[in-house]
A = this chain, B = another copy of it.
Amino acid sequence: MLQSKLFTRTTKESPKDEVSINAQLLERAGYVQKTLSGVYSFLPLGLKVLRKVEDIIRHEMDALSGQELFLPALHPKENWMQTGRWDGFDALFKIRSRYEYEYALGATHEEIIVPVVKKYVKSYRDLPFAAYQIQTKFRDEPRAKSGLLRGREFRMKDMYSFHASMEDLDAYYEKVQQGYATIFSRLTLAGILTLASGGSFSKYSHEFQVETPTGEDTIFYCKNCDTAINKEIADETHSCPQCHTSGEEKHTSEVGNIFKLYTKYSEPFNLTFMNEQGGTDVVLMGCYGIGTSRLVGTLVEIFHDAKGLRWPVTVAPYHIHLVPIVGKDAQMRKELEAQYRTAQEHLVRAGYEVLLDDRSDLTAGERFADSDLIGLPIRIIFSERNHKEKKAEIVVRMTGQTHIAPYHSLIQTIQDMLPWEKSSLAV
């Protein structure tokens, strides 16, 4: 991609109405734009990051035998009346059509998925299975000041699983826990499994929390048994409910949660099945959420510095920023251009996604500042001075590490400098 063709531009000034780091940096770098408080437009660079996050999650949900579907955002009022949440779910947006229908705007999808699967579940032989979607959710939040961390409109992966027995639900719940660990590790996040409130229907649920200086949540982390408890449900001593060691306080952001719903939503819709003895049982359910746009915000909160964004390779909109610094000498210009075009071609062929800064109306300093702000994992600088030795300068954005490498070993050097997840390359 040629940077001159991107319709977005970077800006030096932080948007006045944004207090969160993630929204400030993402807006300044042209990844998102605020359309309303808690409602963001994803611009080309931002959509690429969001899609990479969602593709990693999709891949792991498929590995858990999740079947992807796509449920609507307009929900019948009756379904939400059925579970008591039409009035019980505070942040539910309600719409009155001019034809006197009333709808809820999808804040979560238990009320839709249960009637959908009810059509197909008759016997124990139809169980277990899991279905998921990656989709926009809507919540009428009182405050939305944390950029992508708490939106009125946001993206989410929600999976629902359906089981004939408690053992089966428990076993699947464990597998999802492991799948979540894989996801956060691919996103280079240290997800801390945290005990949280199980609501009215379960003793505990589990949250995945990551440590951030600006985190909204507080957890108590037990080094002894590597688990944690959300402050909301911790007792006065803040000790670990498993081994009673005193926990270490951490500020965190929630990036995922998993619940055993048991029959909370299957019962109101009478989602039952014929068991092996010919009797009738209520289907047991689990649900498993990850806020994908929230994850993009969380990644920024963790991976940034004073100069801008610092994307992990697995979710960067492009892997490599090619920044040629060309002087006035015509012959040198021609040689350098041939060189960086060749490098671009080789990199693309090797599966790297490349953003080429082809802009000629800015100083080298302005272009480096832009490159820092946009935050691609690797920058390769072609300059006259290094060209004389047939070399280019490689900068790793995350660490600041630099290396002057010969043209013929650029790819090898990049691979040595950064741990690439093979699946994040395009070939």
Contacts and interface: CB of A to CB of B under 8 A. Distances in A.
A5 B69 CA distance: 14
A425 interface: no
B105 A140 contact: no
Contact of A72 (B36, B68, B98): B36
A14 B331 CA distance: 73
A35 interface: yes
A129 B97 contact: no
A50 interface: yes
Contact of A93 (B97, B117, B140): B97
Nearest to A111: B35
A7 B68 CA distance: 11
Interface stretch (A39-47, A171-179, A320-328): A39-47
Interface size grouping (class) on chain A: 35 or more
A33 interface: yes
Contacts of A93: 95, 97
A23 interface: no
Given A36-B74, A36-B101, 5 more contacts: A5-B129, A7-B129, A35-B71, A42-B71, A95-B95
A65 to B, nearest CB: 7
Contacts of A112: 35, 41
Contact of A116 (B43, B95, B131): B43
Contacts of A44: 67-69, 131
Contact of A126 (B7, B43, B72, B140): B7
A284 to B, nearest CB: 15
5 contacts: A7-B129, A8-B120, A39-B74, A42-B70, A72-B153
Interface string A103-136: 1010000001001110111000010010100001
A268 B373 CA distance: 33
Interface of A: 5-9, 30, 33, 35-36, 39-44, 46-47, 50, 65, 67-76, 93-95, 97-99, 101, 103, 105, 112, 115-117, 119-121, 126, 129, 131, 136, 138, 140, 142, 152-153, 162
Nearest to A1: B67
So how many copies of this chain end up in the complex? Answer: 2
Contacts of A162: 7
Contacts of A71: 35, 41-42
A101 B138 CA distance: 14
Contacts of A65: 5
Contacts of A43: 69, 116
A17 B322 CA distance: 58
Interface centre among A41, A121, A131 (most CB of B within 10 A): A41
A73 B73 contact: yes
Given A7-B129, A67-B44, A97-B93, A35 B152 contact: no
A12 B101 CA distance: 31
A117 B33 CA distance: 10
B7 A120 contact: yes
A70 B40 CA distance: 9
A112 B226 CA distance: 46
Nearest to A71: B41
Contact of A73 (B129, B138, B142): B138
Nearest to A112: B35
A86 to B, nearest CB: 14
Contacts of A140: 97-99
